[in-house]
Amino acid sequence: MKGDSTYARLQSLGRTVVFGLCRWEAAGFERIPADGPAIVAANHVSYLDPPLLGTLSPRLIRFIAKRELFTLPMLGPLLGRFLRSIGTFPVERRRPDVRAVRESLRVLERGEVLGIFPEGTRNKLPSLAPFLDGVGWLAIKSRAPVIPVAIHGYLPLWRGSQWTRPGRLRILCGEPLHFPASQYPNGRKPFRAAATREVGRAIAALLEEASVASFPLRRVTNGSMGEAAIPIAGEVAAERASKG
């Protein structure tokens, strides 16, 4: 896709910044399928969430972003062109957006990864905000697996600030969730609501885990990510099993 080379260069730069400047722990990104369609669904705390996930993901993610980012005074046209150039597309949050739905399905039909924040907006509260059921509908309609992700550890930029900065970030990817036709035959309200609840429960469980877990960090070479301090997921699982 046009813009993929730009995305890849930014991803490389972002990894350098994340690895060099932020305290972070991550696990489970190997659960994002190596190919084929997938939906990455995460809680949303900060404007940094999309670039953070895009940096750590082994695959390019096409994010859905609020339409307001494409229409900001002065910056809007330039920012909008840039976002579109890397595959990000707008959604109208105040009403059903048919164009955004169609574009989401096209991303998945092309076998790409779609990034979505089911809360619909940034949420500074400790608990998750109610999920919009678009994630359930897309999962049922496309039959793409949903990879739940929890992001934990942002701090206020200053006391009382609505802006955030990375503290000790923990980013956890859960096991892919599948929504087969035998259990979710169509995207009608009862089924998409049930699928959305399942995604919400998975992210909530990951958030609880991230709030108390501490993963061992090792310096390893991980392909295009280069040498970086990342957790060894298999060793984490083994350690937990031995303690259990």
List the pLDDT tens digit at each of the 244 positions of the chain.
555 666 666 666 656 565 555 567 889 999 999 999 999 999 998 888 888 898 889 899 999 887 777 777 766 577 677 777 777 888 887 777 889 999 999 999 999 999 999 998 888 777 899 999 999 999 999 999 999 999 988 665 556 666 666 667 889 999 999 999 999 999 999 999 999 999 999 999 999 998 875 554 433 333 333 333 333 333 333 343 444 4
Q: Which class is 4-214 in CATH?
A: alpha beta
pLDDT of residue 237: 36
pLDDT of residue 135: 95
pTM score, whole prediction = 0.77
* 76: exposed, middle or buried (Cβ count in 10 Å: 0-12, 13-18, 19+): middle
CB within 8 Å of 80: residues ≥ 6 apart: 69, 70, 71, 90
**Domains in the chain: boundaries:** 4-214
Asked whether 210 and 150 are in contact (CB, 8 A), the reply is: yes
Helix orientation angle between 134-142 and 189-212, rounded to the nearest 10 degrees? 110
Helix orientation angle between 134-142 and 98-109, rounded to the nearest 10 degrees? 40
